[in-house]
Amino acid sequence: MLLPVSNPTTVRVDVDSCGVALITLDGPERLNAFGGETARQLGEAYRRCDADDAVRAVVVTGAGRAFCAGADMSEQAAVSPSTPTLPRSPTASGCCGVRRMRTRWRRRRLRCT
């Protein structure tokens, strides 16, 4: 028996006259849970902002009372409700790579031009 997947959190992009793009996770009834479709939409929003020369800054926010509740597990349950899945280990998710990148950039100075 497959469980119904509720509507995914959508992503809205608004750019104001000053060049600030406001990317909003819009699924307040589900506390902006983050699923596969949301990731695809967010990636597209980032690409649109990157391609638009009028965008000078990007702000990511969540609609409603929460920024993001975390992963939307309803999608995974709909795929295979009888097979439990275990979370990936921190090393499998690339945690060490993020730590290395953070260390590499720590000593660099950002310059505003």
Whether 48 and 10 have beta carbons less than 8 Å apart is answered as no
Q: What is the pLDDT of residue 93?
A: 46
| For the chain, domain boundaries | 10-84
- 63: CB partners within 8 A, 6+ apart: 24, 25, 26, 27, 28, 32
CATH fold of 10-84 reads 2-enoyl-CoA Hydratase; Chain A, domain 1 (3.90.226)
DSSP string, the chain: -PPPPPPPPEEEEEE-TTSEEEEEEE-GGGTT-B-HHHHHHHHHHHHHHHH-TT--EEEEEESTT-S---B-HHHHHHH-TTS--PPPPTTTTTHHHHHHHHHHHHTPPP---
CA-to-CA distance for 21 and 71, rounded, in angstroms?
A: 24
The more confidently predicted of residues 77 and 81 is: 77
The more confidently predicted of residues 90 and 39 is: 39
Whether residue 61 has pLDDT greater than 60: yes
* Global pTM value: 0.61
